[in-house]
Amino acid sequence: MTAAGPTVRAIPPGDDRERLTCPDCGFIAYENPKMVAGSVVSVEGRIMLCRRAIEPRKGYWTLPAGFLELHETPEEGAKREAWEEARARIAIDALLAVYSVPRISQVQLIYRATLAEPGFEPGPESLEVALFDWDDIPWSEFAFPSVKWALDEYRIRLGQNVFAPGVNPPGMTGDLF
Residues 112-131: what's their mean pLDDT? 98
Whether residue 145 has pLDDT greater than 80: yes
For the chain, which residues make up each domain, given as ranges? 1-31, 34-157
d(CA 72, CA 49): 23
Residue 173 binned pLDDT confidence (cut-offs 50, 70, 90): confident
Euclidean distance between CA atoms 46 and 54, whole angstroms: 24
DSSP for 89-125, written as a single string: -EEEEEEEEEEEEGGGTEEEEEEEEEESSS-----TT
CA pair distance 129, 43, nearest whole angstrom: 13
pLDDT of residue 172: 85
Provide the pLDDT confidence category of residue 4 given band limits of 50, 70 and 90.
Answer: confident
Ranking 14-23, 107-116, 124-133 by mean pLDDT, the lowest is: 14-23
Binned at pLDDT 50, 70 and 90, residue 177 comes out as very low
Rounded to whole angstroms, how far apart are CA atoms 106 and 174?
Answer: 9
Confidence band for 164, pLDDT divided at 50, 70 and 90: very high
Distance of alpha carbon 44 from alpha carbon 132, whole angstroms: 10
Residue 21 CA: distances (Å) to CA of 7, 28, 29, 33, 118: 6, 4, 6, 18, 50
Among the four given CATH numbers 3.90.79.10, 3.40.250.10, 1.10.357.10, 3.30.930.10, the one describing domain 34-157? 3.90.79.10
CATH T-level fold of 1-31: Ubiquitin Ligase Nedd4; Chain: W; (2.20.70)
pLDDT band at residue 2 under the 50/70/90 scheme: low
Strands (E), the chain: 8-10, 19-21, 28-29, 34-43, 46-52, 61-62, 65-67, 90-101, 106-115, 126-132
Distance between the two ends of the chain, CA-based, in angstroms?
48
Q: What percent of the chain has pLDDT over 90?
A: 86
pLDDT digits (tens, 9 = 90+) for 61-112: 999 999 999 999 999 999 999 999 999 999 999 999 999 999 999 999 999 9
Q: How many CB atoms lie within 10 A of CB 49?
A: 26
**Lowest mean pLDDT: which of 21-30, 53-62, 146-155?**
21-30
- Return the pLDDT at 26: 86
